[in-house]
Amino acid sequence: MGSLISKKYNDLEDLEMQTVRYKPEGIDKLCRTTKFTKKELQLMYRGFKQECPSGLVNEETFKEIYSQFFPQGDSSHYAHFVFNSFDTDHNGSITFEEFVMGLSVLSRGTLNDKLNWAFNLYDINGDGYITREEMLSIIQSIYDMMGKYSEPTSEDITPGEHVERVFQKMDLNKDGVVTIDEFLDSCRSDETITKSMHVFDTIL
């Protein structure tokens, strides 16, 4: 019995311990910077470490995990974009902190948090603007990922047509790019777009 209790406490303190290559921040700091409880973070870290014993996730592993959730389509391109949005220091791997920070925004964040995340996802090159080409890359990757289970619509439109309609609504000054302010204003004033943000809750 004593050994079981000892093991339990050792497991709970695992976040403070050195892994093979990477030592995560203290769990108390993550509680303050995310919207997760200490217990939730401990459970997530155990799962994270089980999948990635080194404490780091590379893009290929991330894509493999994603593909398990979307076996009906090709999720690799969308997973690539999400990986880049989580990999905030752009060093080619995701730490536990980066993982839970991204997850916190998508699963517990406000509408504004999610819209800012979505803008950064669409702004592939990080220059502060969304172009038609960038929007098409993301929309095409979502179409590919949803595969045969994508919801049928009254109009069977292509990704390009979808992008053109959305872009026309968002590019308020018609200069060929969408800024963060245009993106936020358009999304907040369009109930359809606002509701569609719930997609991000399930896509991750």
What are the structural domains of the chain? 2-147+156-203 (1.10.238.10)
**Separation of alpha carbons 11 and 27, rounded Å:** 13
What was the pLDDT predicted at 147?
80
From 134, 142, 136, 143, select the one nearest 165 (Cα to Cα): 136
Per-residue model confidence (pLDDT) at position 197: 63
At 90-145, the pLDDT tens digits run 999 999 999 999 999 988 888 899 999 999 999 999 999 999 999 999 999 999 99
What tokens were used for 136?
């098409």
State the sign of the Cα–Cα–Cα–Cα dihedral 158, 190, 183, 203: negative
**Rounded alpha-carbon distances, angstroms, from residue 74 to 49, 87, 103, 144:** 26, 21, 22, 5
User: Nearest 5°: CA angle at 185, between 178 and 145?
Assistant: 60
What residues in the chain have per-residue pLDDT under 70?
Answer: 1-25, 148-155, 196-204
